[in-house]
């Protein structure tokens, strides 16, 4: 399980760099953090989220825009039965992804758990 989480986290790091680079913005960098580490921003995709979305409902588990500082960390835990796309974070069912922001810039990605369909993270200097 921990190996799989590390692979997911590595994919998130690559996605973060690619997304930032593709938009012509600063290359925001994130690094994998131990899932037991303290974080400032924590979000949980609860069991039943996929069923709510499949039934035509909406969910709002993250803000559309999250302002963070270099050094801040984010953790997303997926307690649902399917993968959740939370901005740049693709979190498999039953997995947890914990990352620290190591450079300023902006990350934008599709989001299953916000009605707008987008999750934007703005990273400023510490």
Per-residue pLDDT tens digits for 79-106 = 999 999 999 999 999 999 999 999 999 9
Q: What residues are paired with 32 via a beta bridge?
A: 99
**Cβ contact 122:67 at 8 Å:** yes
Q: What is the pLDDT of residues 19-46, one digit of tens each?
A: 443 343 457 888 888 878 789 999 999 9
Question: Which of 107, 126, 108 shows the shortest CA–CA distance to 118?
Answer: 108
Residue 12 has pLDDT above 60, yes or no: no
Q: What average pLDDT does the segment 65-83 reach?
A: 96
Residue 60 has pLDDT above 90, yes or no: yes
Residue 111 has pLDDT above 80, yes or no: yes
Specify the pLDDT at position 18: 37
Specify the pLDDT at position 58: 92
Specify the pLDDT at position 2: 39
Question: Cβ neighbours of residue 64 under 8 Å, at least 6 residues apart?
Answer: 114, 116, 118, 119, 120
Number of domains into which the chain is organized: 1
pTM for this prediction: 0.77
**Residue 96's domain spans which residues?**
2-124
For residue 117, give the CATH number of its domain.
Answer: 2.60.40.420
Specify the pLDDT at position 38: 86
- Stretch (H or E) spanning 3: helix 2-22
Q: Using 50, 70 and 90 to split pLDDT, how confident is the model at 75? A: very high
């Amino acid at each position: 399980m921990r190996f799989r989480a590390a692979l997911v986290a590595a994919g998130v790091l690559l996605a973060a760099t690619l997304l930032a680079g593709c938009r012509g913005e600063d290359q925001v960098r994130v690094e994998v953090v131990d899932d037991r580490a303290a974080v400032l921003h924590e979000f949980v995709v609860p069991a039943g989220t996929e069923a709510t979305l499949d039934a035509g409902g909406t969910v709002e588990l993250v803000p559309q825009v999250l302002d963070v500082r270099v050094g801040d960390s984010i953790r997303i835990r997926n307690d649902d039965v399917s993968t959740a796309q939370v901005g740049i974070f693709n979190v498999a069912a039953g997995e947890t992804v914990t990352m620290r922001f190591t450079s300023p810039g902006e990350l934008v990605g599709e989001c299953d758990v916000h009605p707008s369909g987008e999750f934007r993270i703005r990273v400023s200097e510490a």
